[in-house]
Amino acid sequence: MLAKAPQANYEVFLTNFGYTCASAKTLEEAVRKARKTGFQCNIFRSNDPFKVVKLSVQLEVQDD
């Protein structure tokens, strides 16, 4: 029996490298995963990969 793939609504695409690095059920989860990469990312819906949902999510650097 084959394992079921997890249901993902959003995909995190690394802009500079040109590939999808993560998938997520919610937009908030996708933004967290994008920020965790430390690189510039775009977020797409899984069922419509040509329409950007969120553009240029980047790691936020905080000065202490």
Kindly give the confidence (pLDDT) of every residue in the chain, 64 residues in length, as a single tens digit, with 9 standing for 90 and above. 677 767 889 999 998 899 999 999 999 999 999 999 888 999 999 888 788 887 777 655 555 5
pLDDT at position 63, please?
Answer: 53
pLDDT at position 48, please?
Answer: 85
Phi and psi (nearest 5°) for 56?
Answer: 55, 60
pLDDT at position 11, please?
Answer: 92
Contacts of 42 (CB under 8 A, 6+ apart): 12, 13, 15, 52, 54, 55, 56, 57
pLDDT at position 10, please?
Answer: 93
- In the chain, DSSP assigns E strands to 10-14, 19-24, 41-45, 48-57
